[in-house]
Amino acid sequence: MTKIKNSTVLITGGANGIGKLMAEGCFKEKASKVVIWDINETNLLKTAAEFQKKGFDVHPYIVDVGSSRDINSTAKKVLKDVGPVDILINNAGIVVGKPFAEHSDRDIQKTLDINVAGVMRVARAFLPTMIERKKGHIVNIASAAGFIPNPNMSVYAASKWAVIGWSESLRLEMEAMKGRLHVTTVTPSYINTGMFDGVKAPLLTPMLEPDYIAGKVIKAIKKNTIFLQEPMMVKSIPALRGILPTRVFDFVAGNVFGVYKTMDKFTGRAPKEAASEKKSLTAKKK
């Protein structure tokens, strides 16, 4: 069992949404320090101030996880200023919701840089100290989209398929090293954080509330859960895809459950919030 109490936790994308809720959950579990990485300076400082007001030991850093240079330089600062990270939660991610033919090269590259390369690079930055100390827990927030194709989110789905394959491979490598080294892969359906505004949840797969999935992740860390799949219907996807012929699965997923139409009216985060994130990153680079 991984102990959150007295541990140092790092959460990417931790200034709002489930990232912020997971940070709060870790503090409630008596984590000694929580390091928050986020690209949005306004949200980051606001969240840090809230936690500090409650007496929590929080360490905020403005980081673009799509930048290898940003990740490596900030990781060195964290290791020097805060110390080794016991629990790493790779939570930061983006989604571009439109047909693949309409994707720009920038859409594709940014999604892969943040959702795939970013996750791997952050883990790589802190993995050596975990291996050296023979203790550490890495949590990778993937998605149910990593199990099933879906129109209007092809690049996002591809990025999450990649994360699942990498995360499970990393888990096997870490388990082979012995010690207390763990990996948890989280594959939730749509979460009601604003990231998927406009989405219509599939039949029998309700939109997940942020506090619910954040609490589930905290419990999964404590239990060393290998795979956290929420809600229940997500667990059936791999089995159904393995059993049913492709055309039959497409009919069931698309026409019965309505999965393939979930992104038809996708809008995503409000333009004001997206602009704020872009402004924070631009200011940081000047």
Catalytic site positions: 156
Closest CA to 253 of 149, 144, 157: 149
- CATH of residue 131: 3.40.50.720
Would residue 2 count as lying in a domain? no
Asked if 265 and 196 touch (Cβ cutoff 8 Å), the reply is: no
Confidence of residue 271 (pLDDT cuts 50, 70, 90): low
Asked if 155 and 112 touch (Cβ cutoff 8 Å), the reply is: yes
Express each pLDDT in 2-25 by its tens digit.
Answer: 999 999 999 999 999 999 999 999
Express each pLDDT in 72-87 by its tens digit.
Answer: 999 999 999 999 999 9
The pTM for the full model equals 0.93
Express each pLDDT in 18-65 by its tens digit.
Answer: 999 999 999 999 999 999 999 999 999 999 999 999 999 999 999 999
Would residue 136 count as lying in a domain? yes
| CA 84 centroid distance within chain | 21
Q: Exposed e or buried b for every residue in 20-33, given b needs 16+ CB within 10 A? A: bbbbbbbbebebbb
- Give the whole-angstrom CA distance, residue 8 versus residue 84: 7
Instruction: Kindly state the average pLDDT of the residues 113-131.
Output: 98
CB atoms within 10 A of CB 128: 12
Would residue 1 count as lying in a domain? no
**DSSP label at 8?**
E
Percentage of the chain modeled with pLDDT above 90:
93
Would residue 3 count as lying in a domain? no
Would residue 173 count as lying in a domain? yes
The residue whose two tokens read 């959150």 is 4
Asked if 191 and 143 touch (Cβ cutoff 8 Å), the reply is: no
Would residue 180 count as lying in a domain? yes
Would residue 70 count as lying in a domain? yes
**In the structure encoding, which two tokens stand for residue 5, read together?**
């109490």
Across-strand partners of 135? 180
The total number of structural domains that make up the chain:
1
Domain limits at 159?
A: 8-285
Q: In sequence order, what DSSP letters do the residues of 16-85 get, joined into one string?
A: SHHHHHHHHHHHHTT-SEEEEEES-HHHHHHHHHHHHHTT--EEEEE--TT-HHHHHHHHHHHHHHT---
Round the average pLDDT of the chain to a whole number and report it: 94
